């Protein structure tokens, strides 16, 4: 199962990494939960408020925009400096 998750997130990565050790495999769990219903609130712009809605304005109100951005890959200090960054990792940039 770890292979399926890895390949879904980073196609080609499973073939680029060393095989899992027995200890790593024993410490790995994948949980699948069927979702019958979900909700999400998305905004195309900032907060939407009516100035005449009678709400108390003494507390902060707004949105905190979230985004996921891949940064520059950082190799392990134990990885030989001649080992190139694999294609699956470069594809995230």
Q: Which pTM does this prediction carry?
A: 0.47
Note the pLDDT of residue 76: 94
Quick: pLDDT tens for 3-53. Answer: 888 888 888 888 888 888 888 888 888 888 898 988 877 777 777 777 887
Query: What SS3 state is found at 90?
Result: helix
Angstrom distance (rounded) from CA 9 to CA 68: 14
Q: Which residue from 62, 84, 64 is spatially nearest to 73, judged by alpha carbons?
A: 84
Tokens found for residue 10: 């980073």
Note the pLDDT of residue 28: 86
- Let me know: does 38 contact 56? Beta carbons within 8 Å: no
Quick: pLDDT tens for 53-72. Answer: 777 777 677 777 778 888 99
Q: How confident is the model at residue 1 (pLDDT cuts 50, 70, 90)?
A: low
């Amino acid at each position: 199962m770890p292979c399926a998750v890895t390949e879904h997130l980073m196609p080609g990565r499973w073939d680029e990494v060393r095989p899992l050790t027995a200890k790593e495999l024993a410490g790995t769990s994948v949980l699948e939960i069927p979702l019958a219903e979900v909700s999400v609130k998305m905004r195309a712009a900032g907060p939407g408020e009516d100035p005449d809605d009678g709400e108390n304005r003494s507390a902060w109100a707004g949105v905190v925009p979230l985004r996921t951005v891949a940064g520059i890959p950082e190799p392990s200090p134990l990885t030989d400096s001649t080992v190139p960054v694999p294609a699956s990792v470069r594809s995230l940039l």
